[in-house]
Structure 1
């Protein structure tokens, strides 16, 4: 391979990594938007069919698309009246061209169905990601919840109703 071909190959690898970083960050955003807006198709689209979503206590561990369905429709959405996720501090490490790990922190504010008080949740998401047939998705997400606390005296309300 000549010098020009080597430079082009290196440049193409760098472009691929940049595009992969954007796609992986979009998965975190689609997770938040899908969950908060109750857009199940958007939420499901970020997971491989053989995924694992380990939310830990008090929610549990869920496997595959059927597990995701159970987690969303039978456990989480029935518990949350509303939620608003904010994901930040994304770090992505490539193991090779088609495998990566990622970490991001998340704050979630919301209201549980049976409580009329604001809840705040702080967690870190540890992801294992794979690119299959040109598409990045989550293979495994390990959620480590740091705190899950009510904010007494605080109610979520839109500006029009306050």
Structure 2
């Protein structure tokens, strides 16, 4: 398929919205996470079904039980609709969540089925359904290497222009 420059830009903006979601949830940055959704968007994550911005608020509390999380997205299929303002997407996702106080890592395998909408030249998620494909629990040991000089990941180092460092 051949895309116009505008369609290529649209696809990239849609991918950016998906990445903002992942970045926001992993950094526990509600503002970044909400920026992926329109205010009236819905999210069906199984254990939460409702307004997406309320889902973000729910995540900010629910994710405190983990030491760190890493939401990774892989294949991202995007179908732009002919009207130029609607699109559908399917994203393959693997999320690693390390339990607080342990080295136990919960891994979630699934997909996001998304509908996107473009308003005033900006794409965001208008509807998300989270599809569960499987889970895995792993007790892990730290790698056998000197890590004391590396920076540690944590929820206290969020996004966009904020200093990173001790």
TM-score range, shorter chain: 0.7 to 0.9
TM-score of the pair, normalised by structure 1: 0.80
Partner of 1:103: 90
Structure 1 residue 136: Cα displacement:
0.4
Asked if 2 retains the 8 angstrom alpha-carbon contact of 1:110 and 1:156, the reply is no
Q: Which has the higher helix share?
A: 1
Matches within 5 A, 1:57-68: 59-65=47-53, 67-68=54-55
1:34 aligns with 2:21: no
Q: Which of 92-101 and 111-120 deviates more?
A: 111-120
Deviation at 1:30, TM superposition (A): 1.2
Map Cα deviations across residues 53-84 of structure 1 (whole Å, 9 max, x no partner): 1111xx2213142x134322233x22322111
The residue matched to 1:97 in structure 2 has which SS?
coil
Could you tell me the TM-score, scaled by structure 2's length? 0.78
Aligned equivalent of 1:84, options 67, 70, 86: 70
Q: 2:118 aligns with which of 131, 134, 138?
A: 131
User: Structure 1: where are the runs of 5+ without partners?
Assistant: 1-10
Q: Is the 8 A contact 1:51 1:138 kept in 2?
A: yes
**Distance of 1:23 and 1:97 partners within structure 2:** 13
* Distance in 2 of aligned mates of 1:91 and 1:63: 24
Distance of 2:125 and 2:146 partners within structure 1: 36
Structure 2 unaligned blocks of 5 or more: 149-166
Match of 1:149 in 2: 136
Q: Which has the larger radius of gyration?
A: 1
| SS of aligned partner of 1:74 | helix
The alignment covers a number of residue pairs equal to: 146
| RMSD of aligned alpha carbons | 2.4
Say yes or no: does 1:48 pair with 2:34: no
Corresponding residue for residue 93 of structure 1: 79
Runs of 4+ in 1 over 3 A off after TM superposition: 113-116, 155-159
